[in-house]
Amino acid sequence: MHYIECFGCGDVDGGLHMTSTVGEEHLVRSRFEVTRAHQGAPGLAHGGLLACAFDEALGSAAGNLLRRPAVTGKLETDFLRPVPVGSTLYIVTKLDGVAGRKIYVSANGRLDAEDGPLAVRARALFVEVTFEHFTSHGSADALEKFSQTAGRSREDWDINP
């Protein structure tokens, strides 16, 4: 699901501005362009923001492949190489399994190319929720907010292009 005020995939100042697409073999491909706004150490991406980028990529996979609302229950990241400002992380996510409401996904992030060096690995458990999760814990008008995609039709609001 796509929400325009989402820090990961929305049109938010200072956000990650990530896009994800479902490709061959049901793999979801996401890109994260690392800018100075994402720094931890000078010239290097902050680990917490990298975890955020993977939360977005993994969540996009869980949501787009299964078309069910789900939230992150658990997220693990392995930081294997430094990720410099100016680089692009090519993230490929796969669905590992579903058990009841539990959705298991994992992802690899490679530097600057689909076949670049592996920089970050992550896996997560998403838990399927009802829309009431968002209306009762977040905004009462969450459903309407999810549907607000500037310039897009109602039919495709649940896809992050």
Q: Which residues bind ligand CO8 (CB under 6 A)?
A: 1, 55, 59, 63, 69, 71-74, 100-102, 125, 127, 129
Q: How many CA atoms lie within 13 A of 78 on its CB side?
A: 11
Identity of the residue, 76 or 78, whose beta carbon is nearer to ligand CO8 in the bound complex: 76
Closest residue to ligand CO8: CB criterion: 73
Closest distance between ligand CO8 and the C-beta of residue 127, in Å?
A: 4
- Rounded to a whole number of angstroms, the minimum distance from the CB of residue 55 to ligand CO8 is 5
CA-based nearest residue to 71, from 90, 49, 86, 56: 56
**78 is written with which tokens?**
């392995």
Q: How far is CA 92 from the centre of its chain?
A: 11
Q: Give me the helices (H) in 14-97, please.
A: 47-66
Cβ closer to ligand CO8: 41 or 150?
Answer: 150
Determine the Cα–Cα distance for residues 69 and 54; give it in Å rounded to an integer: 17
Beta carbon nearer to ligand CO8, 87 or 93: 93
- Dist. CA 78–CA 97, nearest whole Å: 20
Beta carbon of residue 106, minimum distance to ligand CO8 (angstroms, whole number): 15
Between CA 98 and CA 100 the distance in angstroms is 6
Least separation in angstroms between residue 27's CB and ligand CO8 is 19
Q: Is 55 labeled as catalytic in the residue annotation?
A: yes
Which residue in the list 55, 115, 141, 156 is annotated as catalytic?
A: 55
Among all residues, which ones are annotated catalytic? Answer: 55
